[in-house]
Chains A and B, each alone.
Chain A
Amino acid sequence: MSVETASPTLMTVPAAPIDTRMASLRAIYIIWYRDILRYWRDRWRLVASLAQPLLFLLVFGSGLSSSLGGAFGRGTGISYIQFMYPGIIGMSILFSAIFGAMSIVWDREFGFLKEVLVAPIDRWAVAVGKALGGTTQAMIQGLILLVLAPFVGVKLSLLTVVELVPLAAVLAFGLASFGVAIASMMKSLQGFQVVMNFLMMPMFFLSGALFPLTNLPGWMTWLTRLDPASYGIDPIRRVVLSNSGLPNVNSLGLTINGQVLAIPMEAAIMLAFGAVLLGVAVVMFERRD
């Protein structure tokens, strides 16, 4: 029988037992790196994802700006397009973060997720890697819009950029974690449309990206304060506009019981939201077969 011809002495056994903590860190890194690599390689997506914010700014922003005229801003000196511009940065982050996380569903559809899930790594590392990948992509997608600042009459300074990076990161992290949590529960691409229509669009509309969250009807005030994206977009707007010589932006900002929230507080709320949702994602990942 030919069986005997193979010698067991050739067998290779993994040498030392593996340090699981290091293994998880390596896994997080490579899962993140793969997302970035794919993002970078898919130039069309980069271009296409700029089209929507541009459309909003040019058509929606310019249109409303001229029809509202000085009526907008209640004496703050802020034009509608200036107000909307940081909101559009937030929108870009919101959409890219959730889309980025949805790549989990693509991976499931095309089989690659299996390669990840059968690997001898902790499941939480998979969820964290995906959330960080989504965070990074969304941050880039949002910050890239800073190049449009001169066209909407917003002055940029180094300080703006320095303050904006962590705020964009926090918003991106919160929403990417949210996206990973949703994606971990979704079995197929069919559910994607549902997520789009019933989660992403309401989150966008209620986030204060397009209009100030003050003097709203009571029910809407409630909903906007429940929308986590509100706490990420408001500080971005305050930083961008107040550094641009429009300090009155705070009067259009997010309030709880009439009180303007401090920026670190808003960031903390966003971060906490992200952490909780990431926890949900981890639990979902640990559970699946």
Chain B
Amino acid sequence: MPETVIEAKGLIKKYGDLEAVAGIDLEVRAGEIFGFLGPNGAGKSTTISMLCTLLTPTAGVARVAGIDVVHDPAAVRQRIGLVFQDPSLDDQLTGRENLEFHAFVYSVPAQDRRRRIDEMLDLLQLADRASSQVKTYSGGMKRRLEIARGMLHQPQILFLDEPTLGLDPQTRKSIWTHLNELRSTKGVTIFMTTHYMDEAEYCDRIAIIDRGKIVALGTPEDLKGLVGGDVVTITSTKPEAAESEIKKLLGVTPVRDNGSLRMEVPDGKAFVPRLVRELEAPVDTVSLRRPSLDDVFLKLTGRVIRDEEVSARDRNRAMASRWMGRRR
């Protein structure tokens, strides 16, 4: 079992009467991609900020890379890489200059500077644009540059707060490819927050956080297991007939929704062939779906993560930064 690189016990952060983080316990092992999943305001950013020594916990203990975050924040910061939720690049400088700045303030040895910068630019596929000013970069390139920067001082753990916020799906996917590559080539542990359910699938383990507390923790598969089974949906030109046959022959009660029938079954892969074989009513389409993390989240918290709210906020954020960017 790999060593534990992040350890939190009873971590609490209070703002006056408001308990933003209400007692969090977790352990992250070396080489893991650990996802922190929850809606806005659940306490994700507050938790990550405490682990990164940017906020002091009200109570509890956290050790990152074996060092207590309260006792020696500077030592922790030297050993972690940070990618903030909001942009933090100097867009008047080139990509390379941003990395050089970082190499200096993180005391990367002079003889390693150039080599490491080139390596990171290559890894994140920014080498050909390294000499362009960051203001000419796309959103995805800026993120990649921030990830390259966070990795430059060879941290043990890379913390990313909503690294894919506001990016289009394709760019998000490429960010994930890069993160996976960094994990496998550099052996870095990745701790990240997200509210995109589909992204949590890339993580080795996920903690679902709601109202400042972890409500579930495990692999994406473990968590989906909490819902219990697969979701099978069929469409039929004779839904009534199909429904009664399914009840009689297969012992499952489907839910009718217009022309389709939806049922939850323990083992979908075995169920579908039986269904097709035994049903006499015409079946037009069959779909088998694993329960998604949305289903898990709904089950655990009684709520869904609303993407519309999130995207409205993203839009505002993007607009604000464009407006400010132009004024610069």
Task: List the interface of chain A (C-beta within 8 A of B).
Answer: 1-14, 18, 22-23, 26-27, 29-31, 34, 37-38, 41-42, 106-107, 109-112, 114-116, 118-121, 289
Complex contact A3–B204 (CB within 8 A): yes
The residues in B between 266 and 320 inclusive whose CB is less than 8 angstroms from any CB of A are none
Q: In the complex, are the beta carbons of A6 and B78 less than 8 A apart?
A: no
Is B31 within 8 A of A116, CB to CB? Answer: no
Q: Considering the chains assembled together, what is the distance between the CA atoms of A42 and B328 in angstroms? A: 11
Partner of B88, one of A11, A37, A111: A111
Is A4 a contact of B2 with CB atoms below 8 Å?
Answer: yes
Q: Are A14 and B105 in contact (CB under 8 A)?
A: no
Q: Decide: A8 and B187 in contact? CB cutoff 8 A.
A: yes
The reply to whether A14 and B204 form a contact with Cβ atoms under 8 Å apart is no
Instruction: Give the contacting residue for B31; candidates A6, A18, A41, A109; CB below 8 A.
Output: A6
Are B186 and A3 neighbours in the complex by a CB distance under 8 Å?
no
* Nearest chain B residue, comparing its CB with the CB of A112: B90
Cross-chain contact of B156 among A1, A11, A112, A115 (Cβ < 8 A): A11
- The one of B3, B77, B87, B324 in contact with A8, judged by C-beta atoms closer than 8 angstroms, is B3
Complex Cα distance A27/B154, Å?
18
Residues on A with C-beta less than 8 A from B1 are 4
Is B197 close to A, CB under 8 A?
no
Interface pair A119/B77, CB less than 8 Å apart: yes
Q: List B contacts of A107 (CB < 8 A).
A: 90
A244 to B213, CA, bound (A): 75
Cβ of B89: which chain A residues have Cβ within 8 Å of it? 111-112, 115
Given contacts A4-B2, A111-B87, A120-B78, 9 further A-B contacts (CB under 8 A): A3-B29, A8-B3, A14-B79, A27-B105, A110-B324, A115-B105, A119-B102, A119-B106, A120-B106
Chain A neighbourhood of B87, CB < 8 A: 110-111
- Output the least CB separation between B59 and chain A (Å): 18
Q: Is B52 an interface residue (CB 8 A)?
A: yes
Q: Which of B79, B91, B187 contacts A10 (CB 8 A)?
A: B187
Given contacts A6-B32, A8-B31, A38-B93, contact A110 B106 (CB under 8 A): no
Which chain B residues in 30-44 approach chain A with CB under 8 Å? 30-32
Instruction: Determine the chain A residues whose CB is within 8 A of the CB of B2 once the complex forms.
Output: 3-4, 6-8
Summarize A's interface: helix, strand, loop or mixed.
helix
We find that the number of chain B residues with CB closer than 8 angstroms to chain A is 48
Interface pair A30/B30, CB less than 8 Å apart:
no
Q: Which residues of A contact B53 (CB under 8 A)?
A: 118
Look across to chain B and name the residue whose beta carbon is closest to the beta carbon of A119: B105
Q: A109-B324, A111-B87, A119-B77 are in contact. Are A7 and B52 (CB under 8 A)?
A: no
Chain B residues contacting A119 (CB-CB under 8 Å) are: 77, 102, 105-106
Are A110 and B328 in contact, CB atoms less than 8 angstroms apart?
Answer: yes
Q: In the complex, A29 Cα to B149 Cα: how many Å?
A: 19
Assembly CA distance A136 to B156 (angstroms) = 38
Chain B residues within an 8 Å CB radius of A30: 100-101, 104-105
- B53, B106, B154: residue with the most chain A Cβ atoms closer than 10 Å: B106
Q: Shortest beta-carbon distance, B28 to chain A, in Å?
A: 10
Q: B175 at interface (Cβ–Cβ under 8 A)?
A: no
How far apart are the CA atoms of A14 and B1 in the complex, in Å?
23
Decide if B124 is an interface residue (CB 8 Å cutoff): no
Most buried by A among B31, B84, B149: B31
B74 interfacial contact with A, CB 8 Å:
yes
**B219 in the interface, Cβ–Cβ < 8 Å?**
yes
Are B30 and A8 in contact (CB-based, < 8 A)? Answer: yes
Give A9's nearest chain B residue, CB to CB.
Answer: B187
Chain A residues contacting B86 (CB-CB under 8 Å) are 111, 114
Q: Considering the chains assembled together, what is the distance between the CA atoms of A29 and B86 in angstroms?
A: 26
Once A12-B186, A18-B78, A30-B100 are accepted as A-B contacts, the answer to whether A120 and B93 lie under 8 Å apart by CB is: no
How long is the Cα–Cα vector from A37 to B100 in the complex, in angstroms? Answer: 13
Residue of A with least CB distance to B183: A6
- Whether, in the assembled complex, B205 has its beta carbon less than 8 Å from a beta carbon of chain A, the answer is yes
B190 to chain A, nearest CB (A): 10
Using CB atoms, name the residue of chain B closest to A23: B107
Interface centre among B30, B87, B100 (most CB of A within 10 A): B30
User: Which residue of A has the minimal Cβ distance to B325?
Assistant: A110
Kindly identify, within residues 54 to 110 of chain B, every residue whose CB is under 8 Å from any CB belonging to chain A. 54-55, 74-75, 77-79, 82, 84, 86-93, 97, 100-102, 104-107
Inter-chain contact A37/B93, CB cutoff 8 Å: yes
Q: How far is the CB of B233 from chain A (nearest CB, A)?
A: 29
Cα distance A15–B51 when bound, in Å?
22
Answer whether A7 and B88 are a contact pair too, CB < 8 Å, given A14-B154, A119-B106.
no
Instruction: Tell me whether A3 and B105 are in contact in the complex, defined as CB-CB below 8 angstroms, given that A8-B3, A14-B78, A112-B89 are known contacts.
Output: no
